[in-house]
Amino acid sequence: MVRFLVPLGIFVALAAFFVIGLQKDPTLIPSPLLDQQLPAFSMQSLDDEPVPVDHTALAGRPTLLNVWGSWCYNCRVEHDFLMQLSRNDVIDIYGLNWNDAREDARGWLRQFGNPYVASGHDIDGRVAIDFGVYGAPETFLVDGNGTIVHKHIGPLSPDVWLADFVPRLAALDRAVSQ
Amino acid sequence: MSRYWWLSVIALALVTTSASVFAIDTDRAFDDDKMQARYQRLIAEVRCITCQNQTIKDSNAPLANDLRAVIREQMKAGATDREIYAFLQQRYGDFALYKPPLSAKTALLWFSPLILMVIGGVAFYRTVAARGKFDVSVDGE
Amino acid sequence: MIPELGQIALIIALALAALQGTLPLIGAHRGDTAMMSLAKPAALAQFGFVLIAFLILVNAFVTSDFSLQYVATNSNSQLPVMFRVAAVWGAHEGSMLLWILILAVWTSAVALRSRSLPLDISARVLGVLGLLSVGTLLFTLFTSNPFLRLQPAASDGVDLNPLLQDPALIIHPPMLYVGYVGLSVAFAFAIAAMLSGKLDRQWARWTRPWTTAAWVFLTLGISLGSWWAYYELGWGGWWFWDPVENASFMPWLAATALFHSLAVTESRGLFKSWTLLLAIMAFSLSLLGTFLVRSGILVSVHAFASDPARGYFILAFLLVVIGIALALYAWRAPSLDTQAGFEATSRETFLLLNNVLLVIAASLILIGTLYPLFVEALDLGKVSVGKDVFELVFIIPMLPLAFLIGVGMHTTWRTGNLAYVLRQFRWLIAVSLVAGIVVPFAVFGSNNVMTALGIIAAIWIMLASIGAPLKLVRGGTALTRSAVGMHLAHFGVGLFTLGATVVSSFGVEADRSISAGQPVTAAGYTFELRSLEEGQGPNYAFLKGVVDVTKDGKPVATLFPEKRRYQRQESLMTEAGIDGRIARDVFVALGDPLGNDAWSVRLQYKPLIRLIWLGTIVMALGGLLALSDRRYRVASAAKTRVTGAESTKRAETAAPGTA
C-alpha cells in the first residue's frame, strides 16, 4: 500500500528543505546586478567644494564602492578596516553616502578619518536604489571595465576581505596581465 | 554578525520617524481616482526590503519612502505596471515583489491551486465511487 | 537561590516525564497493569513540578529579579505588574516554559478523565504525551533556559517589547498555545490507536471532545491576535498572511477538518485512516509552526530572536515526532479499511468534500509560506510571497466550501436527500442571491462578482444554519447540544465571511496630513484635530490627539489616537483611536509629525469589520456548546467503562501478537 507512505515521503522532503534552509541566512538578498555593468550615476561629493562623482571615476582599475551613513552602526564597525585598506593603498574606495545629512556625513569623516577617494552624497536615495542597496554597509567590487564582480552585505573585516575579495582581485590581476 | 546588521537600519527608521522625517504618504499622490487606486495597489505589492515582512505601503523605513517616490515618478512619466515591476526586479530581484511574476521558478506556486484541486477532486471522486459499492446499512466498527 | 529551585523543578519534571513516557508504554505493550497505572500519578506529579518552575519564573518577574538574564532582557522596574506577568511569555524562553506548562495541563486533564478510558488506552495516550514533554523539556533546559543568571545582576531591565504591552497580548499567547498544544491530545490518541492496532467508533468518541476543546482555544487565540494586529500595529489590517499567522492558521484548518472527519468516524466507523492522518497532521502543523517561528528560517514581522542551534534542536524533535508518527501510520493504516458504504448525496460525501477542501487550503498556505524557502534551498534566488497570492489561492478551495456548508449540514447519513434539502431551502437560496447581488448596490453603490459571491455564501450559510434547526424544532425533534453547537458554529462562519467580504470590498483607507483647524475628509467622515496633548504613562511618554469625527455636520465620535514613546527601548508605538460599532469602525492612527504642527494620519472606514471577530467568537461558542453535549459528559463515561473493559481484555491478547 504505497499511498500510505506518501505523507511520510512528503514530510521527509520538507525536512530536507528545512535542513538546507537552516544553513542559509534569510535576510541576505543576492544582487541581480552581479556580473552586470555598474549603473550610470552622478552625485556631488562631500568635499568642501563639492565635485561630481560618477561612474566614470570607477573605470580603469578595480575599485570598491562602499555604501555608508553616519547613522549606521556597522559602518563604524568596518571603518577602521576601510582606513587600513586606504592607508596601505590596497584599492581605491569610493563612498556612496546614503540617507544622510551632508553635514552629519562630513562630521563623521572628520572624526573617524576619510578612507574614500571621494564619497558621493546620494540626496534622494536614487543612486542607492539603482544599485539595489537595502541596508548599510554594503560594498561592491567593480573591475576595470566597470563590471560588478562581487557584492558584500554587512561590515567588511580582514576575514571577509581574505575570503571574498582577495581571490577575486587576484583573478582580475591575472586577466589583465594575460 | 551579518544576521543582525540590518537592525541598525531599523534603528534608523525609528530615530528618523521620531524626528521630523515623515513616512506614510500623507496626501493623495494623484488627483485622478484611477491613478490613485493603481498607486495604492502597486505600493501594497512591493516589499520593503529593509523591513522584516512589510510592504512599502505600510513601512516608515527611508528606503520605503524612496521607493514610493520612485513609483510615483514613474507612474507620472507614464510607466506601465510591468515596467515598474521590471525596474524593481532589475535592482532587487524577484524578492521585491510580493506577487512574483509567473516564471519557471514560480510556476509550482501559481499552479499549486490547480494541481491540488485536481488531485483532491480525483481522490474525492474515487472514494465516493468506491463507497457507493458497499452496503450503506452497515457501519464500520 | 529560588531561580535555581525552578531549574531543579524542571529537571525533576523531566525525570517524571521520562518515566511517564516509557514505563506505561512498555506496560501497555506487555499487558502489565502495574506499569500502566504509573502513567497517571507520573503525569500529575510532572504537572506539579512544571507549575512550581513556572510560578518561580512569574515570581522573578513580579519581584523584578534582574539577576536573571531572561527577566533583565524582558522586564523593567517601571513595567506595570500586569505586564510583568505577561512578560513571562513575552519572549522565547518563557514562552517555551508556558508551552510545557500547558502541555502538562492537558496531560493532567486527560489523566483525570482517564477513568472513563480503558487502562491500556490511557496509558498509551499519557505515555505519548510524556514523550512530548521530554522533548520540550530537553529543548528548554539545553537551549532556552529561562533561569540563567546574569553576572553581575542588571540594575534594571531592558523592558518588555512595547508592542506586547497590551491587554490582548496578555491572553493571546496562552490562548493560542492552549490550542496548539491541545492538538497533542488528539495526536496522542492517534498514536495510541496505531500502537494498539485498533481504532473503533468509541475511539472517535474519546478523541472528539479533546479536539473540539483545542480548536475552541485555537480559534479564540488566532482571533485575538488578529484583533490585536488591527488596533495595535496601526495599519488597520486584520490579517497579513505573515508566516507567523500562517503558522497558526494551518493547524486550525487541519483541526477543523479533523473534527468533521471524527464525526464520520464516530457515527459510521468510516474514514478511519484519514482521521488518523488528520490527527497527526494537525499537531504536526502546530509543531511546524513552532519551528518556523523560533528557528529564524523565514523572515517574518514578529519572529522570536532566532538562534540556529534552537532551529536544529526543534527540527530534530520534529523529525522524531512526526517521522515516527507517519511511519507508524504507513505501517498500521492499511489494516483499518472497513466495508461500509454511503451514497454520493449523503452527509458522508459532504464531510469528505469539506475535508478535501480544508486540507487543500492548508496545503496551499503551507506551499505559499515555504515557497521562498524552497526557491532559496534550490539556489534559484529569492522570491517573496505576499497577501495577494495567499488571498487568491486560498479563495479557490474556500469559496466552494462556503457554498457547500449550507447544503451539507442538512443532509443525512448513509443515503442522500439532496433534492429535498434544496427544495426545502429554495426560498433561503433566493434571499441569499438577492442579498448578495442587490444589497451592495443599495448600501455601497457598487458590487462585483467576488463581493457578490462572498455575500451570497455568507447569507446562505447564516440562513441555512438558522433555518434547519428551526424546522426540526417545529417538527417536534429535540436538538442535541452537539447539533445546536454545529449550527451556531456555522452561523459564525457566515458572520465571519460577511464581515471579511464587506470590509475587503468596501473598506476605505486614506493617509492624510492633519492639523488643528484643517479638517480632512475620508469616506464621508470629517476628521478635525482639536488638540494634541502630551502626557506620561507608567513607562512611556505619550502624545494624544483629540480628533472630532463628524458626518454630514453631525458629531459621530471623539477619538484619541496616541503615539507612545517607550523610554527604555527608545521605540515608538501607535495606539489607534477607534470608534467601533457593529456596522462599521472609524479608525484614526497618528503617523508622524510633518512640521508646522501638522501630523500624518491614517484614516479608515471599515464596514462590518467587527463581524470578523464576532464570527470567530460565535464559532468558538458553537464548539463549547458541542463540547457540553450529554454524550461526552454522562453517557460516554458509563458506557465506555463497559466497552472499555472489554477492549482492554482484547488488547491484552491481541496487542503482543500484532506488534
Q: What is the pLDDT of residue C400?
A: 96
Residue B95 near chain A (CB below 8 Å): yes
- Sequence-distant (≥ 6) Cβ neighbours of residue C317 within 8 angstroms: C135, C136, C139, C287
How far apart CA C539 and CA B56 sit, in angstroms, is 30
Tell me the residues of A at the C interface, defined by beta carbons under 8 Å apart. Answer: 1, 4-5, 7-8, 11-12, 14-15, 17-22, 24, 26-27, 29-30
Stretch 14-33 of chain B: residues touching chain C, C-beta under 8 Å: 14, 17-18, 20-28
Contact: B120, C272; criterion CB under 8 Å: no
- Residue C127: is its pLDDT beyond 70? yes
User: Per the structure block, which three cell numbers stand in for C479?
Assistant: 436538538
CB count within 10 Å of CB A138 equals: 24
Contact: C295, A1; criterion CB under 8 Å: no
How many angstroms separate the CA of residue C373 from the nearest CA in chain A?
6
How many angstroms separate the CA of residue C56 from the nearest CA in chain B?
32
What confidence tier does B26 reach under pLDDT thresholds 50, 70, 90?
A: low
Average pLDDT, chain A: 93
What confidence tier does B51 reach under pLDDT thresholds 50, 70, 90?
A: confident
* Residues in chain C closer than 8 A to B58 (CB atoms): 235, 237
Contact: A73, B3; criterion CB under 8 Å: no
Residue C308 near chain A (CB below 8 Å): yes
Q: What is the mean pLDDT of residues C158-177?
A: 87
**Mutate which of A2, A22, A34, A35 to disrupt the C interface (most C C-beta within 10 Å)?**
A22
How many angstroms separate the CA of residue A37 from the nearest CA in chain C?
20
Contact: C374, A12; criterion CB under 8 Å: no
- Residue B5: is its pLDDT beyond 70? no
Contact: C376, A8; criterion CB under 8 Å: no
Query: End-to-end alpha-carbon separation of chain C, Å?
Result: 48
- Identify which of C230, C217, C135 has the alpha carbon closest to the alpha carbon of residue C180: C217
ipTM: 0.90
Q: What is the pLDDT of residue C26?
A: 97
* Residues in chain C closer than 8 A to B123 (CB atoms): 356
What confidence tier does C654 reach under pLDDT thresholds 50, 70, 90?
A: very low
Contact: C235, B58; criterion CB under 8 Å: yes
Q: Which of C243, C512, C592 sits opposite B17 (nearest CB)?
A: C592
Q: What is the mean pLDDT of residues C557-570?
A: 86
Q: What is the pLDDT of residue B50?
A: 85
Amino acid at C227: W
- Residue C659: is its pLDDT beyond 50? no
Contact: A29, B5; criterion CB under 8 Å: no
pLDDT tens, residue by residue, C330-344: 999 999 888 899 999
How many angstroms separate the CA of residue B69 from the nearest CA in chain C?
15
- Residue C643: is its pLDDT beyond 80? no
**Mutate which of A4, A6, A10, A28 to disrupt the C interface (most C C-beta within 10 Å)?**
A4
Long-range (24+ apart) CB contacts under 8 A made by B88-93 are B88/B46, B89/A32, B90/A32, B90/A33, B91/A32, B91/A33, B91/A129, B91/A130, B91/A131, B91/A132, B92/A29, B92/A32, B92/A132, B92/A134, B92/B49, B93/A29, B93/A30, B93/A31, B93/A32, B93/A132, B93/C381, B93/C382
Stretch among C42-56, C329-343, C613-627 having the lowest mean pLDDT: C329-343
Whether the Cβ atoms of residue C210 and residue C113 lie closer than 8 Å to each other: no
Contact: A22, C315; criterion CB under 8 Å: yes
Q: What is the pLDDT of residue C516?
A: 87
Residue B117 near chain C (CB below 8 Å): yes
* Phi, then psi, of A98 in degrees rounded to 5: -115, 135
More confidently predicted of A164 and C467:
A164
Contact: B27, C340; criterion CB under 8 Å: no
Contact: C326, A1; criterion CB under 8 Å: no
How many angstroms separate the CA of residue C338 from the nearest CA in chain B?
6
Q: What is the mean pLDDT of residues C482-488?
A: 94
pLDDT tens, residue by residue, C350-397: 999 999 999 999 999 999 999 999 999 998 989 999 999 999 999 999
User: Count of alpha carbons within 13 Å of A52, Cβ hemisphere only?
Assistant: 7
DSSP assignments along B44-89, one per residue: TSBB-TTSSS-BSSS---HHHHHHHHHHHHHHHTT--HHHHHHHHH
Taking each helix axis as running N to C, give the angle between helix C92-112 and helix C39-62, from 0 to 180 degrees, rounded to the nearest 10.
150
- Residue C301: is its pLDDT beyond 90? no
Q: What is the mean pLDDT of residues C321-325?
A: 98
Query: Searching chain A, which residue's CA lies closest to the CA of residue C367?
Result: A14
How many angstroms separate the CA of residue C337 from the nearest CA in chain A?
12
Please give the share of chain C, as a percent, with pLDDT higher than 70.
95
Chains near B (3 or more Cβ pairs under 8 Å): A, C
* Residues in chain C closer than 8 A to B20 (CB atoms): 593-595
Q: What is the pLDDT of residue C652?
A: 33
Contact: A5, C374; criterion CB under 8 Å: no
Q: What is the pLDDT of residue C195?
A: 95
- Laid out side by side, the sheet with A92-98 consists of A52-54, A42-45, A118-122, A92-98, A63-68, A138-142, A148-153
Peptide bond into A137 cis (omega under 30): yes
User: Per the structure block, which three cell numbers stand in for A139?
Assistant: 560594498
How many angstroms separate the CA of residue B32 from the nearest CA in chain C?
15
Q: What is the pLDDT of residue B9?
A: 37
How far apart CA C264 and CA C283 sit, in angstroms, is 20
CB count within 10 Å of CB B86 equals: 13
Q: What is the pLDDT of residue B17?
A: 35
Average pLDDT, chain C: 90
Contact: C303, B94; criterion CB under 8 Å: no
- Residue A110: is its pLDDT beyond 90? yes
* Residues in chain C closer than 8 A to A24 (CB atoms): 376-377
How far apart CA C94 and CA C105 sit, in angstroms, is 16
Residue B124 near chain C (CB below 8 Å): yes
Which neighbouring-strand residues pair with C633?
none
Contact: B27, C359; criterion CB under 8 Å: no
Q: Which of C280, C284, C382 sits opposite A29 (nearest CB)?
A: C382
* Residues in chain A closer than 8 A to C190 (CB atoms): none
* Residues in chain A closer than 8 A to B69 (CB atoms): 124-125
**Mutate which of A72, A74, A81, A126 to disrupt the B interface (most B C-beta within 10 Å)?**
A74
- Residue C637: is its pLDDT beyond 60? no
Residue B134 near chain A (CB below 8 Å): no
pLDDT tens, residue by residue, A68-105: 999 999 999 999 999 999 999 999 999 999 999 999 99
* Phi, then psi, of A54 in degrees rounded to 5: -140, 180
Please give the share of chain B, as a percent, with pLDDT higher than 90.
57
How many angstroms separate the CA of residue A178 from the nearest CA in chain B?
32
Q: Which of B1, B8, B49 sits opposite A29 (nearest CB)?
A: B49
Strands (E) across C160-306 are located at: none
Q: What is the mean pLDDT of residues C319-340?
A: 93
Q: Which of C306, C386, C600 sits opposite B24 (nearest CB)?
A: C600
Q: What is the pLDDT of residue C337?
A: 81
Contact: B5, A126; criterion CB under 8 Å: no
How many pairs of residues across A and C have Cβ atoms under 8 Å apart? 64
- Identify which of A172, A173, A162, A168 has the alpha carbon closest to the alpha carbon of residue A85: A162
How far apart CA C432 and CA C427 sit, in angstroms, is 9
How many angstroms separate the CA of residue A11 from the nearest CA in chain C?
8
pLDDT tens, residue by residue, C231-254: 877 777 899 999 999 999 999 999
- Residue B2: is its pLDDT beyond 90? no
Distance of CA C574 to the CA centre of its chain: 26
Query: Searching chain B, which residue's CA lies closest to the CA of residue A71?
Result: B12
Q: What is the pLDDT of residue C306?
A: 64
- Strands C520-522 and C508-514, by their bridges, are unpaired
Residue B7 near chain C (CB below 8 Å): no
Q: What is the mean pLDDT of residues A124-135?
A: 93
Burial of A55 (0-12, 13-18, 19+ CB in 10 A): middle
- Residue B15: is its pLDDT beyond 80? no
How far apart CA B136 and CA C562 sit, in angstroms, is 63
User: Per the structure block, which three cell numbers stand in for A49?
Assistant: 567644494
What confidence tier does B84 reach under pLDDT thresholds 50, 70, 90?
A: very high
* Residues in chain B closer than 8 A to C594 (CB atoms): 20, 22, 26
**Mutate which of C376, C378, C379, C380 to disrupt the A interface (most A C-beta within 10 Å)?**
C376
Stretch 512-551 of chain C: residues touching chain B, C-beta under 8 Å: 512-513
Stretch among B86-90, C476-480, C586-590 having the lowest mean pLDDT: C476-480
Q: What is the pTM of this model?
A: 0.92
With H, G, I as helix, E, B as strand and everything else as coil, classify residue C413.
Answer: coil
Contact: C319, A15; criterion CB under 8 Å: yes
Q: Which of B60-64, C519-523, C615-619 has the highest mean pLDDT?
A: C615-619
Q: What is the mean pLDDT of residues C478-499?
A: 95
- Identify which of C77, C88, C297 has the alpha carbon closest to the alpha carbon of residue C177: C88
